[in-house]
Structure 1
Amino acid sequence: MGIYPGGKSVRIDSPRHLTIRHARNLVAVHQRNVRLALRSSGELQDEGESSEEEIDPLPAGQQKLNSYWAPGLEAGKEHIVSVEQDINPNTTKKGSKKLHLTAEQGFFVDAPQFSLPDGSVHSTYPPAGYSDDHRILPHIVLTDPHLPWERLGSPKQGTNAELREKVRLMALGSLEEKPVRNRVPWLVVLAFDQSELRLPPEDLDKIFSATSDGVIKPVKQSSTMTVNMSIADLWKLPTSDVITPVTPDLGPESMKDSRGDFIFVQPEIFKSFFSTWDEDNNRVIPENNKADTLQYQYLAHVRKINGSGMALAGVENTAVFSIVIGNRSGPLDNQTPTTMCAHLVSIEGVEDMAFPSDSQRYVALCSLYSWNYTVLPPDTLNVPDAFEHLGRTLDVLRAPESIIKPLRDAPDKVRQRIASRLDDGYTLVKYRTQTGEPTVALYRGPFTPTYVPDLAHLTKSSNSSVDLQILDKELGIMDITYSIAWQTGRTMALGDEVFTAALNRLRTAIHGPAMKTVKLQTIKDINDISFRTKDEVLEDLPEVIQSLANIHIRRNDGNNFAPPVPGQPFFSPGGAKKRWFRPKMGRSDLPNMSFTDLDFEQRYKAAAVDVARRLAGSKSQGLLYDETNDPVSTDWMIVLSWLVDKMFLSGVPAHSLIPDPTYLGPESLRFFRIDKNWIDSMIDGALSLGNHSLVDDDRVAIKTALNLYIDSIPKGAKHKIQIPAYGFYLRSDLVTMFPDLRVEVLPDEDALRAAGEEPPAGAPLLRHDIVTDGIMMGFMDRLPGSNQFGQLVFTQPAHQQRFAVARGLDVDKIKVNIRKQYTVDQKTRETDDGRHDKLTQIITNPTGDKSKDNIFIWGSKPGQGLNDLRILRLPKYADVQLEELEKWKQTAPDGTPYFKDDTATSALFSMQLNDPVYKLTVDLKAHPENESLAALGPSSGPSATEVRTLRQLEPARMAMHPGYRQGGSGVSSQLARHDDDDDAEGAAGVTFQRHGEYVPTVKALAKNLAPHIRHIPTISAHKLPKPSEAISSFAEHKPRDRFSDPASAPRYRITVSSNIGSHWDVITLRKPNLQQDIIFAVSVEQNQSNQYMLAELDIQIKLGPAKTDDNYLMPTYAGTGAIMLTNLRFNVLPQILDDGGQRVLRLRVLPRAAKGWIDIGTVKELGFMLGLAQVNESLGDPTQVELDVWAIYCKDAENPKLGDDNTVKIPNSITTRVTVFDNPQWAQ
């Protein structure tokens, strides 16, 4: 939703926009102070005009009202641009004339007319589907402050261009008139009872009979009683029945193709909405029989607010909205809730339209936005009661006490243990183990009702999250909290392509330089001069000339050469290969430069941290990147932003945050602590991507750089980076009514002064979101109930306050409290101790002595006790307000009048219609649940800010063979020098031959196998266990339903085919006959009454050549293996067996179950794929091969061992045959 800031936008599209904006404001203030100091010292020249941007121009909690914001040109009728130019000829010839040129160009201003753009509506009150008091006037808040005046609501007031020229002349003193303080909008809010807009079926058929197919027949009205149609169809409605203000003069010719929602208003109601009223409350029809729209100039205004503490408007420092208020209240005598329809109606053209005649039954008005709300009977729940109820429901986030107390009071220790876990915020969830068994587990989200210390065993990174599970030994139930957190982080990272790509690039940027540094250091440890870096070469340049001179200098005896310079290579005359005297290292002297070396690993860890720290820096000298400066690495910028967003729990699924809906009941306020261990595990899971090393030191380096960022103090700030540690959930209809409900986190200033502590310098609210309809979430970094967080205040937002007819309204009277209004600044206003008291009270009645010249119209016929209209009488109501304020002569101590104005405006009148602004202040220190809140923090006492750095800083390690690790770097202390270093001599003794006894493995000779694919060995069939062939003994162990016949064994229907989409029942061979993937589609057909426990399903294929009397499917199998397709609760294991001289391929489908079997009643299919099988050619004719299939079942489920005595083998009753076609045409 777009928010108009009234100037330069400071919107930050981040869940951390509150903390980022706070930091940037601090930096801006710091930079401004530095510039001012430099200017005062003369080091910086003053440029004359200040380029300083105003910081927070509107204080928090304040608002500025304008009666209207009219754009320069209004939309609607055509505008004409006229251009004139005089051209004088540059000649003295006679007869030359001055040329006068003119041109005109017509254009239309593009603006909404029959529908609103997306995001135009910020909020409505009452919200759609919600209820409120009958006094309340519906209103709508629009995100565009110009929208209500982009078209003309009253042409008699002149165009916007005429208005602008009038204001200019008045500013120059050329025109002596009163300023134009009001402007009629083209959008008004009209409220109706549904019965007033519902069309009878006969009218729906008759009126729309001539419309096009764009109007769906039979015509039906929407829930708000509108009918959608095009303007062309609107003009086809019979004028004898329907009149509309929409005419071709309101726009270009293409306007007829536009569509809109239209309501059909009864003529009497329409006349009442657009007429004036005399002193006797009688309706006055204008002499020209045309509508009067001037009264609506008091029902639209503009509000500029400070958005701090608001979930939606808070994305900008300031926000500007236009507000349109309705003029009709709800029913006054309803005994049951009544549904009302509110419509944002266009009145463009209404002022030029004559009132409907007696024969015309409806007026068609365009509704640009509509909603339904409910008017409650008198004396029902209202906003003040809802605020007070919220304060009484304060508690921590966990299961209700009504659920925990019976378990806590039970004598059973198991129940008491479960109650203890529920007190800690846990809940029981359904869980399926890795082997497929369904069970139950304990889970708690990141929001805890108690303090959770740093867990001692959560200091190491994980590669699978299994090591993060914790077994509750008393209950025998696994706690999967941190395992789920790890998986959540990894899943969210996998779903973000930008982050994943940046993380992999960042890992590469860390790994490359770190490896280079460690390898260089390893070599230099052997010989410091054996390798020279670029920097070292540049440092030695001053000695180059002297070193070159030493090459040809000899001693006087002519035999010995000059001694080497300390720290320099030793030179000697001779060939190029003998000039450098370097030692030749033997094989044992070569350093180990792999992660299998302990020294190398330790050096790499430190080098990776150094590289990560450098990449985490900024282009500002010596400063870390902190999102207020320019980064060294853009990949680090992306990774850092993503990780810190996740520490603010952005994007975490709702079911992971609140695992049980009972934790947050309706109309409740719940506080919680954010579990640091949960956040650590989630971040670890996200950073686990892209690891290709046995030891993931790169992940540790990234975490270390993140910790440096969290533990740093940005330049210009007085506090470290803020990470949320506590928070609250507010679930209430108030959040729906007021989405921008203002939240303030206030310290206990008296307690801070008494303790000698400074007020917290950071942002009080770190995250503030409306997570869904009716639920608000807020994060803080200070403990609720502490000195730093003593009160939580909820206030109605300035732009979402309720508007009411009066303080009291019923069928026989209206009671209006005229409020004090001020035209002085806030400081002067606060000098009036009675500023919240009413100025005066006005009481009028619909009949009797006090009904004369009323401000409210109850009914269409005065004196008859009707309340069918219930509309404001304007401008009378606004004039009465101004008269009472003008009588108020009170002044400030300096003699300044508190109020001084002579014109009733929409801004002034809106302050009168404002219902009282309600504020809920929750005193957390004095609340009865203070002990529960104190339990959220550590027992040592709260601190103003808690540095929440990551703790899982030990690298994750892959499992290695015990002998794989080699110790030491293989560096010898003494290096033997060799005088003869010629390559030819050194290579003469080198031979490259395998050992004579070397025998290549089968895998080494299999060119089709990848390096990680094992070759399938051939084993003897008699070595495999042989289950019993008898089924009678097995049936005795089966439990039997006495009301049904014994169940037959399951049958397996198996189809074998090539992996070709068009043929799923044959194996198709192509030319040439290459290896191909074979699909085994296995469906289970079974009696629903059976209780067989499947331990294994075997499919056996005889192997042999093609040119034999017997048909063989394949000569052998040396492919990549078999994988399950959909049912991952099973594995498929291929084996090649020697069964009495006949080689066979047996495909064993085994359940992934710790007990070794699975209930076949839960299995529907067991399809798998055999990779890269070489199928025998069929020699021109189709070949059919029969496969042997049997299943092995467990006899006794209570016996944990699946031996020969506890299994039974049952052959498949369905014959499985495979058809092979040598030519694809056979398969057509």
Structure 2
Amino acid sequence: MAIFTGGKSTAINSPRHLTLRHARRVIGLKKQSLGLLGPDEEVTEPTLAPGEEKVDSYWAPGLEAGPSYSINVTQTIKTPNQDESLVLQGQQDFTVDAPQFTLPEGSIHSVYPPSGYSEDHRILPHVVLTDPHLPWERRGSPKTPEHLGDRNRVPWLAVFSFTQDELKLSAEALASMFQKTSDQLQKPVKQSSTLAINMTVADLCATTDMVTPVSNLQPSTIQDARGDFIFVPAELFTSLFSTFDQSSQRQVPASPDTMPYQFLSHVRNINTTGMAVSGVEDVGIFSVVLGNRAGPLDNLAPATVSVHLVSIEGVEAMQFPISQPYVALCSLHSWTYTVLPPRMLNVPDAMEALGRTLGVLRPPESVIAALKARNDRVSDRIACRLDDGYSLVTYRTQTGERSVALYRGPLTPTVVPPLTMNHCSNSGIDLQILDKEVGIMDVSYSSAWQLGRTLALGDEAFTAALMRLRRAIHTGAMKASKIRVVQQESADALRTRTDLLKDLPTMVTHLHQVHVPYPPPAGATPPFVGGGPRRRWHRHRLRPHEIPGLGFQSPQIGKIYLEEAIKLARHLAQSPDGSMYDEHNAPNSNDWMVVLKWLMDRMFLDGVPAHYLISDPFHLEPESLRFFSIDQNWVDALIDGALSLGNHQGDDPDRAAIKAALNDYIQQGPQLLDQETQVPSYGFFLRSDLVTMFPDLRVKTLPQQSNPPKRAPLLRHEIITDGVMLCLLDRTPGSEDFTGLTFTQPPHQQRFAVARGLDVTAVKVDIRRQYTVDESIRDKDVNQHDPLTPEIKYQPDTADNLFIWGSQPGTADLRILRLPRFADVQLQYLQEKMGTYDAGSTPTKYFDDDTATSALFALQMNDPIYYLEIGLQGNPALQSLAAPPRPRTLRFLEPARVAPLLPTGTSSSSSSSPQPPDEPPAKDDDRGPVTTLFSRPAGYHPGPHILASLGPHVRAIRTRNLPSPQVTGDDTPAQFPKYTCSVVTSGLSYVQVGDNLPQDLIFAIGVSENDTSTYQLTEFDVRIRLGPVNPTIHTLMQDYDGPGPRMLDNLRFNVLPQFDHQGGDVYLLLRLLPRSATGRIEIRKVREMGFLLSLATVNLFPDHQTLVRLDTMAYYTDPSHPTQETNFDANIINSKA
């Protein structure tokens, strides 16, 4: 749902949008104060403080939809050489496109009362729209005088509420009214749950016994448009669009009057801080459309009311009196709610009751007390476990036995200390904890590890980024580790590119000394010196014990690999300027950016299924407020399981390196923020109907902090399901910086009521104080929160009333506001009763306005704003959550322990095992024998092929040159490949029939003997002859009308069906075509081409076994051998024969 902000959007698509936006704002303000903002950067602060709102009467677009417009353009062209000028004129006609019969998705932000819920009869239903222009995008009153549009404007939308008997059409009416409609309207016609009928405009115009304003709206262009339409009784419609005199008698005008509805729509600009739904933006601008009818006043039982947001466009073009029994209006949105009898539960009572349910997230106290009352050791232990937030769950062991286990999610009623284990896990089994007192396994952390791995496997983007990040860390760390190991053996054993470049200036001066022997330094190994020809190919060969171990499992690598991996991970976690990547600058590695975002989202418990968070529904009962602590061990296990993907080395130090980089991000925090990254440690659930009634129920932590606060007050604030709100924080409940909570109705989701009191005998109105002066002056009025006195009280027979009870004296069938009379009385009362203040020596009015507007009227119709404030300090229900703050970094930082295949030191290349002494250097003799490392057995005679590969001073043996083979034009590219084909039913080696139901046929096509073939395949066809069951000519199917074939594994091909007619017979041709831009593929690259033919009805042969011959044809690019034709038999088994 998009929120209109009136400017640049600040929304961040992340479950951590509250913390990220807060950090972005604080960093931007600090950059602004230091003069570090870039040319394209700007810091925009909301003009309204949290909790404030600005109310406008309307937001009209530049051009309204409906009328036709034209643009006239005149251009005069003059040239320096001519006195005459050329005048060009052009005209372009256009219309403005806007919603008319349906609203775009996401247009409705919220409705009140919510669908299916109950409310008082005083309450006026209303709709909150996400587009502030929407109610005025079309003309609600084309004949409105221009001077009345300066402060008010009639919208084209209105909210009407109806009882069931007012809109319910009888079966006879439904049968007679829609006889002339088209077949697009399903017969018999039925009304929806809100008593609307969905149809096209053409069908609406063909409906009898009704009139509609839609017929006045260019019907030639909208005949195919669909919408929901309600059929309002003509008498009720007349009352809704008529005026009433001072004696409350209806005065029917010549045409419907829509002017009263100008007071029932307005715009609200709010600060969205602390709101779950609208809080994705800093600012939200909404339009609000109010209803003008109260609920039934004399009902003794709950009554269902249907509410419709209807279009009143074209209503003023109709004529009174209405000649038909019904008037059809287009309903753009509808819902139902229940009107309660008087003195039922209301919002203040619900909030007060909610404040008394404060507790922690655990089973009800009655369940725990019942176990403790048994006074046996096992019951006491189970009660203690339940008191810690555990639940008993069904558990299946690795060997398959069903058992019971203890499970607790990440949300605990007590603060959980850190585990003593700090190693990563490779399976999660080692994270299970056995409760020795009752012999039950605690699978909490094991389940968290498995969940983390499952969530990671389900996110392809994260998995791919993690694999690439692991590869980068492993490759770089192995290279650095190998260099260090080699250099530890000998500082000069490896020369890097940098070392080589440093020696380039002196290389040329030393080239002439290459063959000049010189004595080595004292104690150094003698260098190689030139010798005779026999010494030319002799070098000292390193023995196994002299070669350092450079494999990943080598002890030398293992000692330093983790250190190098952490260095490389920290480098990848930086930005190009050398600072740490903090999600507000550019990263060195895009893969690290993806991995970091995913891991931080999981630390905010995003994506964790609800049954993992709340293990038992009894932990969170209806109408309750439950606080909890977040178990960091559980989160560590979740992260460890996610990062375990791609572990192919056992102990997996790369995982530990990634965690070290993540801990750096958490500990250091973003630049210029001067604090650690905020990670949730506490939170609360609010389960109440208030959350459904007010989805943007505003949450504020106490005490109120500076603006902007140093830390984001709420880290995550979401409506996770209907009626359940989740809030995560990083401060301890009851601490000095979190002394309490306040829940407040949001400004744009407040209730609107007719009056303070309303029944069949009277209406009691309190006129609220309104101000046109600055807030600082308004605060000087000590009575600003008190209504004006005396209250206004009207009875049904009072002259010049504000409220119309019924169409006849003593009835209450209308229950509508009398406008503009109500708005004029409000204005007059404010002008007379608001009083003045001293501005110097001149008395000045607190309220100084001369026009009644929809904005002023909306403030009057607001029901009182209720809020619930809960003190947390010293609350005994939260004592189990008291604990000193701890860092929220990961603690499973040691690589997993995996036993090596060979114990350390037993390798044949180990330097610790005894080795034979080195052979003495051979004497440098030109004619002497060269010492070798091996000897030939006596009588060995080398063959010519061995002698030919001796040193360069040995002459090769003469051989006879063989003639080259002659290439002839008749040679083929190689032999034809061999195709093996079969048709089977899934899970069988044949096609099984019996019930003669459609089934999926698998065509298994294998390719062999093609390793050296150079044929280019362009198409492979399978021809299936179609026809009925015939004892002489066997056909696989009589016909085929299924969804078609699809490839199974080899996606290098597309399979296309086609019917072919040859010789009076019909064939189903299944063509396998290469998915290549050239239209061909090398056959040596193909191993199989299996595909599936969906829902094929195979012929039911009377015999138990029947063979059906199928033909195949392969097409190649070789002009001399373009085709290869084969065939195979399909084995049909009749299981019923």
Q: TM-score, normalised by structure 1?
A: 0.73
Q: Which of the numbers 642, 648, 660 marks the counterpart of 2:616?
A: 660
Q: Is 1:828 aligned to residue 777 of structure 2?
A: yes
Moved more, 791-800 or 954-963: 954-963
Measure, in 2, the Cα distance between the counterparts of 1:248 and 1:615.
67
The aligned counterpart of 2:110 is 123
| Native 8 Å contact 2:392 2:406 kept in 1 | yes
Measure, in 1, the Cα distance between the counterparts of 2:689 and 2:392.
29
Q: Which of the numbers 56, 66, 69 marks the counterpart of 2:56?
A: 66
| Native 8 Å contact 1:427 1:442 kept in 2 | yes
Q: Is 1:730 aligned to residue 678 of structure 2?
A: no
Q: Is 1:899 aligned to residue 858 of structure 2?
A: no
The one-letter amino acid of 1:934's match is Q
Q: Which of the numbers 208, 214, 223 marks the counterpart of 1:256?
A: 223
Measure, in 2, the Cα distance between the counterparts of 1:770 and 1:211.
44
For residues 741-793 of structure 1, the C-alpha deviation after alignment (integer angstroms, 9 at most, x for no partner) is: 000111399xx9xxxxx998311110000000000000001111111211011
The one-letter amino acid of 1:805's match is V
For residues 361-406 of structure 1, the C-alpha deviation after alignment (integer angstroms, 9 at most, x for no partner) is: 0000000000001111111100000000010001100100111111
| Native 8 Å contact 2:582 2:671 kept in 1 | no
Measure, in 2, the Cα distance between the counterparts of 1:1069 and 1:62.
70
For residues 213-252 of structure 1, the C-alpha deviation after alignment (integer angstroms, 9 at most, x for no partner) is: 12111111111110110001111112xx21100125347x
Q: Is 1:81 aligned to residue 45 of structure 2?
A: no
Measure, in 2, the Cα distance between the counterparts of 1:816 and 1:301.
21
Shift of 1:348: 0.5
Q: Which of the numbers 475, 479, 490 marks the counterpart of 1:527?
A: 490
| Native 8 Å contact 1:551 1:573 kept in 2 | no
| Native 8 Å contact 1:831 1:893 kept in 2 | no
Q: 1:583 to 1:384 in 2, by over 3 A?
A: farther
The aligned counterpart of 2:332 is 368
Measure, in 2, the Cα distance between the counterparts of 1:576 and 1:564.
27
The aligned counterpart of 2:882 is 937
Measure, in 2, the Cα distance between the counterparts of 1:484 and 1:702.
22
- Could you list the runs of 5+ residues in structure 2 that have no partner in the other structure? 938-983, 995-1000, 1010-1104, 1107-1126
Measure, in 1, the Cα distance between the counterparts of 2:420 and 2:762.
71
Shift of 1:413: 1.4
- How many residue pairs get aligned? The number is 959
The aligned counterpart of 1:608 is 565
The one-letter amino acid of 2:775's match is Q
The aligned counterpart of 1:111 is 98
The one-letter amino acid of 2:804's match is I
The one-letter amino acid of 2:22's match is H
Q: Is 1:388 aligned to residue 347 of structure 2?
A: no
Measure, in 2, the Cα distance between the counterparts of 1:975 and 1:806.
107
| Native 8 Å contact 1:595 1:694 kept in 2 | no
Shift of 1:480: 0.6
Shift of 1:536: 2.8
For residues 35-93 of structure 1, the C-alpha deviation after alignment (integer angstroms, 9 at most, x for no partner) is: 18x9xxxxx9xx9xx97442232211111111111111111132222233445687769
| Native 8 Å contact 1:483 1:681 kept in 2 | yes
Counterpart mapping for 1:1166-1177 below 5 A:
none
Q: Is 1:773 aligned to residue 722 of structure 2?
A: yes
Moved more, 952-961 or 731-740: 952-961
Q: What SS does the corresponding residue of 1:123 show, helix, strand or coil? A: strand
Q: 1:553 to 1:492 in 2, by over 3 A?
A: closer
| Native 8 Å contact 1:858 1:866 kept in 2 | yes
Q: 1:391 to 1:1225 in 2, by over 3 A?
A: closer
Q: Is 1:338 aligned to residue 322 of structure 2?
A: no
The aligned counterpart of 1:588 is 545
For residues 1120-1178 of structure 1, the C-alpha deviation after alignment (integer angstroms, 9 at most, x for no partner) is: xxxxxxxxxxxxxxxxxxxxxxxxxxxxxxxxxxxxxxxxxxxxxxxxxxxxxxxxxxx
Q: Which of the numbers 186, 198, 201 marks the counterpart of 2:168?
A: 198
| Native 8 Å contact 2:520 2:526 kept in 1 | no
Measure, in 2, the Cα distance between the counterparts of 1:103 and 1:618.
56
| Native 8 Å contact 2:550 2:556 kept in 1 | no
Shift of 1:842: 3.5
Q: TM-score, normalised by structure 2?
A: 0.79
Counterpart mapping for 1:1032-1047 below 5 A:
none
The aligned counterpart of 1:307 is 272
Q: Which of the numbers 461, 475, 482 marks the counterpart of 2:438?
A: 475
The one-letter amino acid of 1:418's match is I
Measure, in 1, the Cα distance between the counterparts of 2:802 and 2:532.
114
The aligned counterpart of 2:1034 is none
For residues 504-526 of structure 1, the C-alpha deviation after alignment (integer angstroms, 9 at most, x for no partner) is: 00000100000000011111111
Shift of 1:990: 6.8
The aligned counterpart of 2:154 is 184
The one-letter amino acid of 1:340's match is V
The aligned counterpart of 1:1008 is none
| Native 8 Å contact 2:431 2:443 kept in 1 | yes
| Native 8 Å contact 1:597 1:967 kept in 2 | no
For residues 123-148 of structure 1, the C-alpha deviation after alignment (integer angstroms, 9 at most, x for no partner) is: 00000000111110000000111111
Q: 1:1070 to 1:563 in 2, by over 3 A?
A: closer
The aligned counterpart of 2:636 is 680
The one-letter amino acid of 1:331's match is P
Q: Which of the numbers 450, 456, 459 marks the counterpart of 2:414?
A: 450
Q: 1:570 to 1:66 in 2, by over 3 A?
A: farther
Q: What SS does the corresponding residue of 1:785 show, helix, strand or coil? A: coil
The aligned counterpart of 1:54 is 44
Q: What SS does the corresponding residue of 1:935 show, helix, strand or coil? A: helix
Measure, in 1, the Cα distance between the counterparts of 2:742 and 2:142.
46
| Native 8 Å contact 2:477 2:564 kept in 1 | yes
The aligned counterpart of 1:690 is 646
Q: 1:1062 to 1:831 in 2, by over 3 A?
A: farther
| Native 8 Å contact 1:664 1:670 kept in 2 | yes
Counterpart mapping for 1:1024-1035 below 5 A:
none
Counterpart mapping for 1:961-1040 below 5 A:
961=901, 963=903, 966=906, 970=910, 989=933
The aligned counterpart of 2:1033 is none
Q: 1:981 to 1:364 in 2, by over 3 A?
A: farther
Q: Is 1:816 aligned to residue 765 of structure 2?
A: yes
The aligned counterpart of 2:31 is 31
The one-letter amino acid of 2:694's match is F
Counterpart mapping for 1:532-931 below 5 A:
532-538=495-501, 540-541=502-503, 544-552=504-512, 561=518, 584-621=541-578, 623-747=579-703, 761-848=710-797, 851-861=798-808, 864-887=809-832, 888-891=834-837, 897-926=845-874, 930-931=875-876
Measure, in 2, the Cα distance between the counterparts of 1:475 and 1:1227.
60
Q: 1:965 to 1:616 in 2, by over 3 A?
A: farther
The aligned counterpart of 1:1096 is none
| Native 8 Å contact 2:985 2:992 kept in 1 | no
Q: What SS does the corresponding residue of 2:789 show, helix, strand or coil? A: strand
Moved more, 895-904 or 497-506: 895-904
Measure, in 2, the Cα distance between the counterparts of 1:775 and 1:1062.
54
| Native 8 Å contact 2:555 2:904 kept in 1 | no
Pairwise CA RMSD of aligned residues?
3.6
Measure, in 2, the Cα distance between the counterparts of 1:819 and 1:1063.
82
The one-letter amino acid of 1:232's match is A
| Native 8 Å contact 1:64 1:303 kept in 2 | yes
Q: What SS does the corresponding residue of 2:315 show, helix, strand or coil? A: coil
Moved more, 579-588 or 699-708: 579-588
| Native 8 Å contact 2:796 2:805 kept in 1 | no
Q: 1:301 to 1:981 in 2, by over 3 A?
A: farther
Q: What SS does the corresponding residue of 1:718 show, helix, strand or coil? A: coil
Q: What SS does the corresponding residue of 1:711 show, helix, strand or coil? A: helix
The aligned counterpart of 1:1023 is none
| Native 8 Å contact 2:485 2:556 kept in 1 | no
For residues 784-824 of structure 1, the C-alpha deviation after alignment (integer angstroms, 9 at most, x for no partner) is: 11112110110000100000011111111111111111223
